[in-house]
Chain A
Amino acid sequence: DQQVKQNSPSLSVQEGRISILNCDYTNSMFDYFLWYKKYPAEGPTFLISISSIKDKNEDGRFTVFLNKSAKHLSLHIVPSQPGDSAVYFCAASVSNNAGNMLTFGGGTRLMVKP
């Protein structure tokens, strides 16, 4: 059973509008969450992260929100740009558990239309 789920395999958004990518998790021990972005023919690259002691982290156009009670996190991209078109993976980890083990969701393909 997947502990991290991204229920929307794809999302299409108009340039300039907000993109919201969602992620749910089941393991209450997860206490650190990350978003990775992946372009075709490249490896994933780190985008933004959030610790479970926070409910929001912002970096430029990217904001991650964490709702611990709902075991849900989301990535907001405002404004969306065509260059944001990629597959986005959320990932989660447990501190003090082998240091770096990440559990990934299945990914959401974002398409930003000009």
Chain B
Amino acid sequence: EAQVTQNPRYLITVTGKKLTVTCSQNMNHEYMSWYRQDPGLGLRQIYYSMNVEVTDKGDVPEGYKVSRKEKRNFPLILESPSPNQTSLYFCASGVWGTDTQYFGPGTRLTVL
């Protein structure tokens, strides 16, 4: 089954404790992206990747890091999480040059 998976689905952590949210897709998509969803703001792009070893900032990259060492994986790293990073995070993938993206199920992160 073609899908985008994220882990964990739920995470409660404390300020400053480094964490990684994994994202994996099995559709051989070149493009992958991370979004955060906050009430009234829709989905805002954090980082995206056009292919292996090619990443770039989205609209709200501060406090986040990403890596793209393999085509299928695109982890999101929070080196020192803060309460304002409490949000619902979505990973997405797509075929390069097309606009339809396939989203993972989301990771709800709470930073205390």
A and B associate in one complex: yes
A101 lies within 8 A of B45 (CB):
yes
Bound-complex Cα distance A6 to B40 (A): 9
Q: How far is the CB of B37 from chain A (nearest CB, A)?
A: 8
Option from B31, B44, B100, B105 in Cβ contact (under 8 Å) with A43 = B105
- Residues of A within 8 Å of B112, CB to CB, are none
Query: In the complex, which range does the number of interface residues on chain A fall in?
Result: 20 to 34
The B45-102 residues at the A interface (CB cut-off 8 A) are 45, 48, 50, 56, 58-59, 90, 92, 94, 96-102
Q: How far is the CB of A89 from chain B (nearest CB, A)?
A: 6
A98 lies within 8 A of B48 (CB):
yes
Q: With contacts defined as CB atoms under 8 Å apart, how many contacts are there between chain A and chain B in the complex?
A: 70
A100 lies within 8 A of B97 (CB):
yes
A93 lies within 8 A of B48 (CB):
no
- Residues of A within 8 Å of B103, CB to CB, are 36, 43-45
Q: How far is the CB of B39 from chain A (nearest CB, A)?
A: 8
The A1-59 residues at the B interface (CB cut-off 8 A) are 2, 4, 6, 9, 32, 34, 36, 41-46, 49
A to B CB contacts below 8 Å, 11 in the list: A34-B100, A41-B105, A42-B105, A43-B4, A43-B104, A46-B101, A89-B43, A91-B43, A99-B31, A103-B45, A104-B43
20 further interface pairs, Cβ-Cβ under 8 Å (given A44-B90, A93-B99, A99-B50) = A2-B42, A36-B103, A41-B106, A42-B105, A42-B106, A43-B106, A44-B43, A46-B101, A91-B43, A91-B99, A98-B48, A99-B97, A100-B48, A100-B94, A102-B43, A102-B45, A104-B42, A104-B44, A105-B42, A106-B41
